Amino acid sequence: MPVKELVEYIAKSLVDNPSAVEVKGIEGEKSLMLELRVAPDDMGKVIGKQGKIAKAIRTLTKASAAKEGVRVSVEIMRED
Amino acid sequence: MELRTIERKGKTVDEAIKSALDELGCDIEDVKVEIVEEPSKGLLGLGKKPAVVRISIRQTPEQETRMVLEDLLNKMKIDYVINSVEFEAGRVRINITGKDMGLLIGRKGETLNAVQFILSLIVNRDRAEKIHITLDVEDYRKKKEESLEALALRLSEKVKKTRKNVVMRPMTSQERRIVHTALQTDTQVTTYSLGDEPNRKVVISLKK
């Protein structure tokens, strides 16, 4: 799953704690859901002011997945 | 940003540095030298220790931006060629071309802006002095900049004629900067921004 690697790469490049980055892919027939988990202190690094970073990550992922005709969604998971 | 770093030993510090530079194939100006251990001759052949140096390659803003962009576009599986990378006055400008450029630009440049934004975040992550990055595709931005400048000039004429303010559509900070700059030297009108992101707009009004 190349888009999974893409999300992993971006997240790891942005956070302070790259080893805590985890991306899980849940595949549907023509869609893919990616669950992104980062260390609690790094949440802001992947979300950004008014979700600006999260939005950019989704835009990149969608463009990349569109090449392969896959619909993708990225969810940033909050650990409780 | 991960820099390439190696450690080398030598009889003297100079020798250790030279062996490291030979291996990396670069000049002393391109690297940062850290002396990990000074050599020690020891006493009567006892306790003799070599010099240890740590050498890391210092990357220019152009090199670093190019490297991160390549990583990012490769991971996105985008077909691209880098045409030019320029660095001037704290701003790196990269121009690329290739088969997938329509996809990379996206609707109204949305994807291109997102790539530029993420690229800039990664490059500036550990930088004290931030560098601005402009990512352009086949002069897409340049053409847009020119048409935005032309629009700003037309609207300024309208303001002068009607003596009423003109409020432009919401624009990104980069687009607003282009309008402000375009009308900066105009003696009859002034510009300012109004509202909050992402709905911040430029107002063109008569100078009082």
DSSP class per residue in B16-80: HHHHHHHHHT--GGGEEEEEEE--B--BTTBS-B-EEEEEEEPPPHHHHHHHHHHHHHHHTT---
What's the token pair of residue A23? 């991306």
- Residue A24 near residue A34 (C-beta atoms within 8 A): yes
Last residue of a domain, one of B36, B57, B78: B57
Which of B28 and B157 is assigned the larger pLDDT? B157
CB B30, CB B58: distance < 8 Å: yes
Range of the domain at A60: 3-78
Mean pLDDT of chain A: 92
Query: CB contact, 8 Å: A56 with chain B?
Result: yes
Residues B68 and B120 in one domain: yes
pLDDT recorded at residue A80: 59
Res B25: pLDDT = 81
Same domain, B70 and B131: yes
List of residues 6+ apart from B50 with CB closer than 8 A: B9, B10, B11, B16, B37, B39
Task: Determine whether the interchain pair A56/B117 forms a contact, defined as Cβ–Cβ distance below 8 Å.
Answer: yes
Q: What is the pLDDT of residues B86-129, one digit of tens each?
A: 999 889 999 999 999 999 999 989 999 999 999 999 999 877 78
pLDDT on residue B49: 86
Instruction: Give the C-alpha distances (Å, rounded to integers) separating B28 from B13, B59, B121.
Output: 13, 13, 29
Please write the tens of the pLDDT for every residue from A13-43: 999 999 999 999 999 888 899 999 999 999 9
**B52/B65 same-domain check:** no
Reply yes or no on whether the pLDDT at B1 is more than 70. no
Tally of domains within chain B: 3
Better-scored residue on pLDDT, A38 or B3: A38
- The rounded distance, in Å, linking the Cα atoms of B120 and B133 is 6
Query: Are residues A13 and B117, on separate chains, in Cβ contact within 8 Å?
Result: no
Same domain, B47 and B81: no
The answer to whether the CB atoms of A64 and B100 lie below 8 A apart is no
- A2: which residues sit within 8 A by CB, 6+ positions away? A64, A68, B75, B77
> What's the confidence (pLDDT) of residue B3?
63
Q: What Cα–Cα distance (Å) separates residue A14 from each residue in A39, A47, B74, B84?
A: 12, 10, 18, 26
Shared domain check, B40 and B103: no
Q: How many domains does chain A have?
A: 1
pLDDT digits (tens, 9 = 90+) for B42-52: 777 777 888 99
Q: Residue A52 belongs to a domain with what CATH number? A: 3.30.300.20
Asked if residue B2 has pLDDT above 90, the reply is: no
Pair (B132, B151) in one structural domain: no
What residues of chain A lie within 8 A of the CB of B78, using their CB? Answer: 64, 67
Q: Which domain holds residue B154?
A: 143-206
